Amino acid sequence: MKVTPWQVSGKIDYEKLIKDFGLSKIDDKLLERIKSHTKELHFMLKRRVFFAHRDLNWLLDEYEKGNKFFLYTGCGPSGPIHLGHLQTWLFTKWLQDVFDVELWFQFTDDEKFLFKDKSYEEIQRWTYENMLDVIALGFDPKKTKFLIDTKHANILYPEAIKFAKKITFSTVKAAFGFTNENNIGQIFYTSMQAVPAILPSKIKGKNIPCLIPLGVDQDPHFRVARDVYPKLGYLKPAIIHGSFLPPLTGKGKTSSSDNKEANIFTLDSPKEVEIKIKKYAFSGGQDTIEEHRKKGGNPEIDVSFQYLKMLFEPDDIKLEKIEKDYRSGKMLTSELKEYLIKKINAFLSEHQKKREKAKKEIDKFLFKK
């Protein structure tokens, strides 16, 4: 298994990640505590799609004292938005709604230019396209601020150099596996991603707690940066870690760049979704109908079931019934896939409409000093 911000491969062992990264598990007690504030628990919490954290109890201590936090997450704009992105962002949207808090959202066009074999112009196009998808998810424009690294450089850079001065090359080498062949922009980049977690504090002139929802592959940036925040007089941000939505073929993580067939993107047509699911979604069912009726399917390894569990079937009762019927052989793989295709297409048809409207709304989201 390999998990870095730029590469996720192999079979992901989340228990091992918790140990290796030094994370805390989300346990029932913590869920109860969250529920005491939110009334309902998001299904991604109940089902441990978000499975680990750093300092979440501290964040809630502060919240209970009346010290509100803000949210911070981001997007590396290197390609079209896929379902894996939506997982973190839909959860973030829920957090914004239930806690009624600000969200700072970073678009790291610098990062993607430095790490991908793509031109600056292409990355700018993806930045615009990706902003539309984020807006379409329904974030509150009054409480959401977009930062684009190269456009907001006048605000971000003066803070980034303060982080950069306290992070050595040997630290980033160890955290990310960099070598002497990495370009010098890549070596600097973590300091840009560190900044939004303190920017509101910097602007308001007082320390405000921060919660970062992210896919666990992004944790190494903050593992490095968290040592630096106190040295600069800031609070360490709390983090909540999501697991990876598997690509349709089953292993690793969905990604914008590899495997066009194996991922579903927000602009896919209903027909494309149908074809991809039918052709590529790894099945935990048996080879023949007779065998499936006899032995049943395995939802744990079935990608269609995992998509319902992690993203598209919030209703626990419906999900349980599907799981039971699939396991017993009463439900066939073709029926499971049909159910998922309907869910995804219903979501995407709404999303695509909202994404069109978002074209007029970008300006409302861009941070202005």
Residues forming contacts to ligand TRP in the complex (CB under 6 A) are 5, 72-76, 106, 108, 111, 193, 212, 214, 218
Please say whether the beta carbons of 348 and 338 come within 8 A.
no
Compute the least distance from the CB of residue 114 to ligand TRP, in Å: 11
Extended beta strands in 161-307, E state: 210-215, 238-242
Handedness of CA 303, 309, 313, 317 (dihedral sign): positive
- Taking each helix axis as running N to C, give the angle between helix 28-38 and helix 56-64, from 0 to 180 degrees, rounded to the nearest 10: 30
Q: Which is nearer to ligand TRP, 172 or 277 (CB)?
A: 172
Cβ of residue 67: shortest distance to ligand TRP, in angstroms? 21
Comparing CB distances to ligand TRP, the nearer of 3 and 75 is 75
In three-state secondary structure terms, 136 is: helix
Nearest distance from residue 307's CB to ligand TRP, in Å? 20
In the complex with ligand TRP, the residue whose CB is nearer, 214 or 319, is: 214
CA distance 203 to 109: 23
The smaller minimum CB distance to ligand TRP, of residues 136 and 308, is found at 136
The nearest distance, CB 189 to ligand TRP, in angstroms, is 8
Nearest to ligand TRP of 161, 346 (CB atom): 161
3-state DSSP assignment of residue 330? coil
Q: How far is the CB of 199 from ligand TRP (least distance, A)?
A: 12
The beta strands (E) that lie in 24-126 are given as 24-25, 50-54, 70-75, 103-107
- Shortest distance in whole angstroms from residue 214 CB to ligand TRP: 4
Q: Could you give the CA distance from residue 224 to residue 21 in angstroms, rounded to a whole number? A: 11
Q: What is the DSSP letter of 239?
A: E
Task: Find out whether 310 and 50 touch, Cβ atoms under 8 Å.
Answer: no
Show the CA angle centred on residue 77, arms to residues 71 and 79, nearest 5°: 135
For ligand TRP, give the closer residue by CB, 89 or 339. Answer: 89
CB-wise, 77 or 284, nearer to ligand TRP?
A: 77
Question: 154 near 147, Cβ under 8 Å?
Answer: no
Q: Which residues contact 85 (CB under 8 A, 6 or more apart)?
A: 75, 133
Least Å from the CB of residue 111 to ligand TRP: 6
